[in-house]
Amino acid sequence: MILVTGATGNAGRQVVDRLLAAGVAVRALARDPAAASAVLPAEVEVVRGDLAEPDGLRAALTGVESVFLVWPFITAAGAPPVLDAIAAHARRVVYLSSAGVDDGAERQADPINRFHADMERSIAKSGLEWTVLRASTLASNALGWAGQIRATGVVRGPLMPAKPVVHERDVAAAAVRVSTEDGHAGATYVLTGPEVLSRADQVHAIGAAIGRPLRFEQVTAQAARAQLLADGRPPELVDALLATAETQPPPPPITTTVQDLTGIPPRTFRQWATDHAPIFR
């Protein structure tokens, strides 16, 4: 039995589907089991629980051997009691981290990589058998542009650093491999796509997939911040999301890890755009 957190999210749902295809029993942690059950396959056991309330995780963790952990907060302050709860029941944890984490940095450059680095340190001290998957930007993040693309054909946003964007299915395939076989304890794997892409590159690929010219229009980080705050996003989340727009760190190097772990070359963003074309039309 493997417990999947974030099971209805873009990466978590792919992990669920691939675990089921591999014949693995899957349990999903959900704050709203009814809503999660409505979108997850019937074979998934959905159990109420919240990572913000570690004392209430026993039912979800009982009988579980491994946990696929997606941390939904922008600080790792609450991680130790959650990891203690996991360690009381499970043997293994697979953590979805960020390819932007810099092992050589005394302090990570932005808040998102900072909390991922803090989480990795907490997991290493937990006593669990652990594996860290440091994923580059997920291709599925582009789903957030669907409304703009359908309405105007223009994606407006701040200029973010180009990244070797990775297909969430490739992340899930790697997660299933390290969750279901031995030999990955204490390993940190960096997962990337096969090419470094800017936001404009991604928008053009989506346009090619739907047969419609699209363009990316840059706005300032200040304008993006004002819009995100107006949309009701918490200020600390807005700051975290826009930090790299201001620092413009270099992209992480492209790796062969997806193919090394799964035996299949990583999918391109163009493949992802083709797969998801109906959402953007």
Structural domains in the chain, CATH included, are: 2-138+166-193+250-267 (3.40.50.720)
The pLDDT value given to residue 226: 84
63-111 pLDDT tens trace: 999 999 999 998 999 999 999 999 999 999 999 999 999 998 888 878 8
Cβ distance 193 to 267 under 8 Å? yes
Instruction: Write down the H helix ranges in the chain.
Output: 10-21, 33-39, 58-61, 79-87, 111-124, 146-152, 168-180, 199-210, 221-230, 235-247, 257-262, 269-275, 277-280
- Model confidence band, residue 158 (pLDDT cutoffs 50, 70, 90): confident
Alpha-carbon distance of 17 to 44, in angstroms, equals: 9
Q: For residue 86, what are its two tokens?
A: 């996991």
Alpha-carbon distance of 68 to 23, in angstroms, equals: 16
Alpha-carbon distance of 97 to 70, in angstroms, equals: 8
Q: Tell me the mean pLDDT in the region 210-221.
A: 92
Residue 191: pLDDT above 80?
yes
Residue 267: pLDDT above 90?
yes
Residue 5: pLDDT above 80?
yes
